[in-house]
């Protein structure tokens, strides 16, 4: 028997998680787990619905990244109506891309300004009441104002294309359902009602400079905290550049060796298996070639920076070069560098949005294409939190008979468990008293991944934070609650 510390739920992640830390008789950390104890069953209850409803239904998985699910499902459904990504009209593809960049932009802004900045600005030892965006806003008015307006810009892009900031509709089988009007485009260019896209690029550059400056001052913590080798997975373009909407799957190991060599989306099932553990509802995907023990990968901004050779937009590409130079071109395994990578992607999305908003074909009316029906469709996209896979099979009547979703947070499952173990051993080992700051460091490690447990499993509503400490005989010896 061992001592056990339970942190439930983890705060400031989307959804509900629980951490248990097991200690031996001497008070040393023996093991640690991130348990996902909720279950959603989305893959099951979508069965029996017509395929064309999938992009609408699955976005209810999440209130933060519904657009990612909407687009991944749409790409899969495109295949069911006989169309590959290259078959869509340029206007439809560009509108979907603009929607996607707006989504990643607002989601990253949400995470950095709202969820991560308290950890960075106040440190992990600050009292819980101070660890939130509201205190950031009060202490750093200009930073908070920019964060609010950057998130708003991304949300307004989503609203302009889908009709709503959350759970709107844009993609339909074979394209998009609505033209983008000149006045809608001008709203983002003229700066009359909201700061324009040039301001977004400027502020994105400022925030990248902020994180680099912050890193200069705190590199010992940022470089060492939860630093452990891992595989990395992400989409890249044909030229090996960062690709968020449609690309090929590339993975590398902790030393930078290629473990998945730019494979086509449709082949994902040949290369991946989802493992299960009895203590969590969340699965553990891994590369078949390396097995359950060694084949797991991190995904998300850090991994995308690691697998990409370049970025197509100049300012972000310059920042990628700086990012890669810091580890001399070797894979960056610093968990806290997720924040740095996320901000480079914010800049990339802002640059991409400017290109698209100034592209006349965005306003075209060639929205839909048709093809020959197929029984199966696979859509893979880089969601804000990482590689997102939607896979559907349908019967002759077009009803969904099978659905498989591998979401970003699921890919990061093993990596988050490793991070929790790392922090537990570093901070809780042989400590007689567990402090609030120590427990928060566990949360800081998980938050760096920006996990969405709503997407990975199920989460409705919120619960208070519950921390329980057990002795080596499993007796409850201490308990903490936050509400």
Partner 1 sequence: MSIAKVKGATHGSEKIDRQKFLDINQEDTLFIAIGNSARSDDGLGWAFLDAIKEMKNFKGKTAYGYQLQVEDAERLSNFPKVVFIDAYAGEDDISFEWEKTEPVNDFTFTTHALTPGAVLYLCQDLYEHHPQAYTLKIRGMDWELKIGMSEYAIQNLNEAMTFFSQMIQE
For the chain, the straight-line distance linking the first and the last C-alpha, in angstroms and rounded, comes to 30
Nearest residue (CB) to partner 1, 22 versus 131: 131
Closest approach of partner 1 to the CB of residue 29, in Å: 25
Closest approach of partner 1 to the CB of residue 281, in Å: 19
Residue 121 makes contact with partner 1 by CB under 8 A: no
Closest approach of partner 1 to the CB of residue 133, in Å: 5
Nearest residue (CB) to partner 1, 319 versus 443: 443
Nearest residue (CB) to partner 1, 141 versus 264: 141
Nearest residue (CB) to partner 1, 21 versus 109: 109
Among 133, 208, 415, 428, binds partner 1 (CB under 8 A): 133
**Residue 302 parent element (H or E):** helix 301-307
Residue 230 makes contact with partner 1 by CB under 8 A: no
Nearest residue (CB) to partner 1, 89 versus 204: 204
HEC profile of 108-174: HHHHHHHHHHHHHHHCCCCCHHHCCHHHHHHHCHHHHHHHHHHHHHHHHHHHHHHCCCCCCCCEECC
Residue 132 makes contact with partner 1 by CB under 8 A: yes
For residue 458, which of 397, 405, 386, 412 has the smallest C-alpha distance?
Answer: 405
Nearest residue (CB) to partner 1, 67 versus 344: 67
Residues in contact with partner 1, shown as a per-residue x/- string from 136 to 155 under the rule CB under 8 A: -xx--x--xx--xx-xx--x
> Which residues are registered as beta bridge partners of 31?
22
Nearest residue (CB) to partner 1, 325 versus 460: 460
Question: What residues from 423 to 452 belong to the interface with partner 1 (CB under 8 A)?
Answer: none
Question: What residues from 162 to 201 belong to the interface with partner 1 (CB under 8 A)?
Answer: 166
Question: What residues from 27 to 66 belong to the interface with partner 1 (CB under 8 A)?
Answer: 60, 63
Among 135, 196, 297, 387, binds partner 1 (CB under 8 A): 135
Q: Is the peptide bond before 333 cis (omega within 30 degrees of 0)?
A: no
**Segment near partner 1 (CB under 8 A), from 65-73, 123-131, 197-205, 266-274?**
123-131
User: CA–CA separation, 375 vs 365, rounded Å?
Assistant: 29
**How many residues sit close enough to partner 1 to count as binding (CB under 8 A)?**
29
Closest approach of partner 1 to the CB of residue 43, in Å: 18
- In this structure, what are the phi and psi dihedrals at residue 470, rounded to the nearest 5 degrees? -115, 145
Residue 16 makes contact with partner 1 by CB under 8 A: no
Burial class of residue 63 (count of CB atoms within 10 Å of its CB; 0-12, 13-18, 19+):
middle
Do 400 and 76 contact (CB within 8 A), yes or no?
A: no
Between vectors from CA 189 to CA 185 and to CA 193, what angle results, nearest 5°?
95
Nearest residue (CB) to partner 1, 151 versus 324: 151
For residue 144, which of 156, 132, 155, 158 has the smallest C-alpha distance?
Answer: 132
Closest approach of partner 1 to the CB of residue 53, in Å: 15
- Torsion 202-152-62-21 (CA) sign: positive
Residues 6+ apart with CB under 8 A from 219: none
Closest approach of partner 1 to the CB of residue 62, in Å: 12
Nearest residue (CB) to partner 1, 18 versus 151: 151
Question: What residues from 61 to 90 belong to the interface with partner 1 (CB under 8 A)?
Answer: 63
CA 157 vs CA 62, 106, 228: distances in Å? 18, 9, 37
- Torsion 163-164-166-167 (CA) sign: negative
Among 361, 462, 474, 475, binds partner 1 (CB under 8 A): 462
**Segment near partner 1 (CB under 8 A), from 131-139, 226-234, 260-268, 409-417?**
131-139
Residue 465 makes contact with partner 1 by CB under 8 A: yes
Among 2, 3, 7, 11, binds partner 1 (CB under 8 A): 11
Instruction: Compute how many other C-beta atoms are within 10 angstroms of the C-beta atom of residue 172.
Output: 19
Residues 6+ apart with CB under 8 A from 46: 54, 57, 58, 400, 403
E strand spans, 219-257? 231-236, 248-252
List residues near partner 1 by CB under 8 A.
11-12, 60, 63, 114-115, 128-129, 131-135, 137-138, 141, 144-145, 148-149, 151-152, 155, 166, 460, 462, 465, 482-483
């Amino acid at each position: 028997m061992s001592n056990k510390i339970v942190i439930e739920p983890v705060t400031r992640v989307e959804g509900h998680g629980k951490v248990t830390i097991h200690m031996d008789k001497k008070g040393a950390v023996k093991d640690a787990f991130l348990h996902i104890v909720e279950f959603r069953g989305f893959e099951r209850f979508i069965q029996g619905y017509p395929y064309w409803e999938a992009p609408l239904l699955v976005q209810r998985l999440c209130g933060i990244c519904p657009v990612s699910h909407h687009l991944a499902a749409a790409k899969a459904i495109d295949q069911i109506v006989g169309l590959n990504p290259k078959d869509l009209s340029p206007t439809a593809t560009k509108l979907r891309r603009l929607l996607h960049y707006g989504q990643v932009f607002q989601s990253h802004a949400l995470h950095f300004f709202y969820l991560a900045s308290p950890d960075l600005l106040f440190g992990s030892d600050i009292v819980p009441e101070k660890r939130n965006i509201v205190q950031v806003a009060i202490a750093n008015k200009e930073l908070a104002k920019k964060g609010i307006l950057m998130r708003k810009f991304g949300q307004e892009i989503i609203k302009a294309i889908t009709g709503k900031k959350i759970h709107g509709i844009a993609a339909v089988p074979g394209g998009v359902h609505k033209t983008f009007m000149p006045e809608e485009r001008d709203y983002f260019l003229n700066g009359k009602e909201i700061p324009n896209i040039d301001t977004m690029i400027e502020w994105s550059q400022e925030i990248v400079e902020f994180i680099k400056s912050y890193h200069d001052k705190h590199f010992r913590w940022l470089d060492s905290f939860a630093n452990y080798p891992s595989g990395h997975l992400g989409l890249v373009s044909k030229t090996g550049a960062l690709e968020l909407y449609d690309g090929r799957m590339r993975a590398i190991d902790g030393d930078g060796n290629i473990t998945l060599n730019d494979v086509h989306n449709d082949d994902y099932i040949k290369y991946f298996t989802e493992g299960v553990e009895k203590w969590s509802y969340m699965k553990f995907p891994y590369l078949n070639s390396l097995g359950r023990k060694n084949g797991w990968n991190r995904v998300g901004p850090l991994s995308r920076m690691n697998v990409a050779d370049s970025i197509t937009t100049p300012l972000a590409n310059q920042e990628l070069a700086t990012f890669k130079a810091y580890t001399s071109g070797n894979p960056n395994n610093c968990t806290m560098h997720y924040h740095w990578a996320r901000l480079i992607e914010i800049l990339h999305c802002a640059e991409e949005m400017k290109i698209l908003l100034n592209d006349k074909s965005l306003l075209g009316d060639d929205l839909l294409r048709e093809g020959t029906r197929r029984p199966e469709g696979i859509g893979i996209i880089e969601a804000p939190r990482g590689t997102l896979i939607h896979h559907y099979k349908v019967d002759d009547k077009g009803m969904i008979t099978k659905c498989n979703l591998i979401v970003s947070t699921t890919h990061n499952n093993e990596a988050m468990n490793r991070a929790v173990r790392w922090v537990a051993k570093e901070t809780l080992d042989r400590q007689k008293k567990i402090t609030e700051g120590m427990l928060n460091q566990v949360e800081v490690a998980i938050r760096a991944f920006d996990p969405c447990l709503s997407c990975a499993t199920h989460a409705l509503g919120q619960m208070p934070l519950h921390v329980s400490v057990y002795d080596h005989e499993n007796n409850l010896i201490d308990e903490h609650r936050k509400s």
